[in-house]
Structure 1
């Protein structure tokens, strides 16, 4: 019975997202349907401190996106997304995610805009211990300096509750980005993000810090979002996984090209490093994506 309750819990938000799609089929001004695919590579999918392993991931998503019209000072936005990811080697990480995010947009002046959007997310993972529900809020301030140059800053809060606490986390993140529209079709963008909060690492070595090793597949002592290191063995990682409080720095570059009004292509690269009392983790991520809007 407990397993059925877990399935209902993790599928609740994706079902709500699907329902919202049907409710909003009568399109409002500024609303679009979006279909997209991504092919990406992660250099450290295990988040390992001592034995990095990369993998290729194929992702596809469908979304309903209602953006502010820009014609009024106060407007609203709504984005609902269903996505799926398949890993080339590590099938335990395959997942389906549903997210819904309503928002309020305020035009502070003709060039500055503030958007505040809470979000709710449900994620079902093949390794059910990583399945989770999450909520959070994102506030983004954007500036359009002229027809070419733009920039923005944001704050993001996330509270994610996974089936096993070692994968649960609370995180506060701040970031900034700047971009150039070289032509009507071609743009480049750079970004930086700093985040502080809970995370986890994996290691093939035994580890003596924390609150003692749990038993079974990812089991650990302690519950909730407690501070300190919780740890346990995960059969999906085939390693010891350890929860810790970390600081993460991420640097990214994004190149986009609009083949038409509806079809957009993108190339992205992100370097991230995080460190805590347990150790440090580095990851390189690269992706190519296509998105069609209608």
Structure 2
């Protein structure tokens, strides 16, 4: 009878553990910034799953320790060793098979989400290191569906971002039409940079000399913040840009208005020309910022890259 109650208690605890783990996993959605793209939903689903698994393992281990302390506590004067778990085939299979299946399941889920995000740039970097696979890779690229409603060229350098839109419009702001699949064709003009918007859940390295594609679908209008997540030197804190997700009508209106605007002065250029605020001058090498943050000649942009 006592053994039956033990098994019943374990079964009830596991059931409660599953419910609590699922609840904590759902809470994990609120720990992240607002989802602004359809790709963010997939990333958050994986994060929620990992939180649920971690909660189940943590509470399960804590419960097992408490269970052992309560039901298998040695008597006060008992200094003998407990029953050895070594050599128990059932336990060996359990604690070998369970982590293996769990890791394989997580890897499969991560791979599926990675494929759904459809980031071509990472595959391109990996394959171009092996010349013998170049021909096969070229065929593979032609078969990949990379459809997008619009393509925006992204140029990043020390110390600013430049976005080239259709009709030769350039700006230091990234504007995206909501609910439209947009391809960002990214180019680094000097060193490694990284495109990162927390609400998009997408981080992409931008490698000099390579065209890196990032396809995303914004689904929530609003203003967001683009940061370069790779440290690149003196004015790294200024390597940011505003991102606006707006309706197609507002997006087209902005394009029309921006076509008549003049170039804006680079923040890094302004800071570079301010009097020094420290008593000691350093001899660190730094790239002198360009006077403007928007290149107005689209042909020159293409030629430089």
* TM-score calculated relative to the size of structure 1: 0.28
Structure showing the higher helix proportion among its residues? 2
Which structure ranks higher in relative contact order (CA pairs < 8 Å, sequence separation ≥ 6)? 2
* TM-score calculated relative to the size of structure 2: 0.27
Structure showing the higher strand proportion among its residues? 1
